[in-house]
Amino acid sequence: MIFNSYTFVAFFIIILLLHHLPISWKFKKINLLIASYIFYAAWNPPFILLLWLSTVIDFFVGRALFTQTNPHKKKFLLVISLIGNLGMLCFFKYGTFLLDNFVSVVNLLGLEYHPATPNIILPAGISFYTFTTLCYTIDMYHKRSEPVKSMLDFSLFVTFFPHLVAGPIVRPPQLVPQFETERIASKKQMFDGLLLLSLGLFMKVVLADGMLSATADAVFNSTDVLSGLDAWIGVFAFSGQIFLDFAGYSTCAIGVALCLGFVLPQNFNYPYAAIGFSDFWRRWHITLSSWLKDYLYIPLGGSRHGKLRTYYALMLTMLLGGLWHGANWTFVAWGGLHGLYLWIEKYLRDRKKDTDNESKKITRDTGWIGFFYALLTFMLVNITWVFFRSDTFSKAWQMLISMSGTETGGKALLTTLSIIKVLIIIPSIIITHWFMRNTKVLDVAHQLSWWKLGIAWSTIMLLLIWSQESGSSFIYFQF
């Protein structure tokens, strides 16, 4: 079940009605838990057992980790949790990838080995709910928060349907306390939630799917060397598509949760207005970035053990972050390229740290110089999207060659209309991000007069109805 479907509309209306019935809070939470399992079962019902197993193991292991005083037993329990969570993730998501690479190495050594290709189905959202449960057991190991008292609350924390399949990646202190007392959306929360849901669907259905996906697919699926213009337009189209698709999902998730009275953490903050790459990762997929920082970068040493250790921790974090996105070396290259950008940025900032005063920083971050740096960051990010979208390195290299314009006779693939759409949408995204980079969409909506907001919202709804047939599954469901 996906947000951009009439099935979800009917499902959500039923959930809202049940949530407002005059019954006890415990039964309302049971309704939400059952609804979450139904939401997940719409993809593949047997995988509910996998989700349930992960929930049960981490609930009891987390409680034991918190109370255990013997350091050896405590580490043993943590290892059980890591093996259970990462083992399932590695098998389902990376099993075929690991086997293929093992076979390649063995055959390279001169040994003939050709096993049958395993038929492994990737469970929806396994990367997201694995990270959700992992952060709980790791926090229990370090006693960063109290263990969840109720199995019902913990199960709902893991499976709460708005965030279950594609985030935001929530942590126990962000959501569990909200299950302890009854939550019913106020009129303002309901209004804001429905507005965010509409906006998220507009981003996904009208813009990402209706305006950009066909152009991106045409360019990246082409087997020919393309003209420089067509190649860049295709990359820009995918750049806009993946932002609008994933940020659209996160906006929908936050809006749906708000309609039920719950608050989920922000996941995007106008990333295409980022000035530099550390700023980009503070704005793009925020919950994943903070997860990688707290549970990988800092444990690897962070910035506490000298520059070399910092560079090592930074690159390894980005490489593993790339691999988290998919079982393909192109994703690792995508993460590695971001790691290289962060290396260069850190080196340059360390060099000028002593000479850069606060007034220069303010000018750089807010004026035309800042906008230039934001455009430069955006262009370099587009280079990384080539590896993210390409299935193979040869395809990525072909795209880079096409983008360079060094090959004569590149094929002109796109129609004039496709090019115009991209040249309107992408600059509009960049300008919107720049002027909204320090504010929130709900704050802007609250400042509008009722008739202006009504016209804007009505337009969104009409375009959604008109574009509904162009909707497809969210990109990040495959991760």
Rounded distance between C-alpha atoms, residue 128 and residue 157, angstroms: 12
Main-chain phi, psi angles of 95, to 5 degrees:
-60, -55
Rounded distance between C-alpha atoms, residue 57 and residue 80, angstroms: 9
pTM score, whole prediction: 0.90
Active-site pick, 325, 338, 433, 446: 325
Residue 238 has pLDDT above 50, yes or no: yes
Q: Rounding to the nearest 10 degrees, give the CA dihedral for residues 129, 131, 133, 139.
A: -160
Residue 1 has pLDDT above 80, yes or no: no
DSSP string across 209-245: IIIIHHHHHHHHT--SPBPHHHHHHHHHHHHHHHHHH
325 as an active site residue: the answer is yes
Count other C-beta atoms under 10 Å from residue 96's C-beta: 16
> Angle at Cα 389 formed by Cα 431 and Cα 421, nearest 5°?
40
Helix axes 368-389, 358-366, angle to 10 degrees: 60
Rounded distance between C-alpha atoms, residue 182 and residue 213, angstroms: 41
Question: What percent of the chain shows pLDDT beyond 70?
Answer: 95
Contact between 55 and 62 (Cβ < 8 Å): no
Q: Tokens standing for 462? A: 């009409």
Average pLDDT over residues 425-448: 93
Count other C-beta atoms under 10 Å from residue 71's C-beta: 8
Q: Decide which of 172 and 467 is more confident.
A: 172
Rounded distance between C-alpha atoms, residue 398 and residue 68, angstroms: 55
In three-state secondary structure terms, 407 is coil
> Angle at Cα 128 formed by Cα 123 and Cα 129, nearest 5°?
80
pLDDT tens per residue across span 382-415: 999 999 999 999 999 999 999 988 777 778 889 9
259 closest CA partner among 6, 11, 2, 37: 11
Task: Supply the pLDDT for residue 468.
Answer: 67
Contact between 53 and 22 (Cβ < 8 Å): no
Contact between 441 and 435 (Cβ < 8 Å): no
Average pLDDT over residues 349-362: 60
Contact between 444 and 436 (Cβ < 8 Å): yes
Q: Please list the alpha-helical segments (H only) found in 202-328.
A: 213-220, 228-259, 277-283, 286-292, 307-325
Rounded distance between C-alpha atoms, residue 399 and residue 227, angstroms: 10
Task: Supply the pLDDT for residue 362.
Answer: 42
Rounded distance between C-alpha atoms, residue 257 and residue 431, angstroms: 29
Q: Say which residue the tokens 């009605």 belong to.
A: 17
Task: Supply the pLDDT for residue 475.
Answer: 64
Residue 473 has pLDDT above 80, yes or no: no
> At 97, is the pLDDT very low, low, confident or very high (cuts 50, 70, 90)?
confident
Residue 332 has pLDDT above 70, yes or no: yes
Residue 470 has pLDDT above 60, yes or no: no
Main-chain phi, psi angles of 453, to 5 degrees:
-65, -40
> At 472, is the pLDDT very low, low, confident or very high (cuts 50, 70, 90)?
low
Task: Supply the pLDDT for residue 177.
Answer: 93
Rounded distance between C-alpha atoms, residue 232 and residue 419, angstroms: 10
Domain ranges of the chain: 21-180, 189-478
Question: What percent of the chain shows pLDDT beyond 90?
Answer: 62
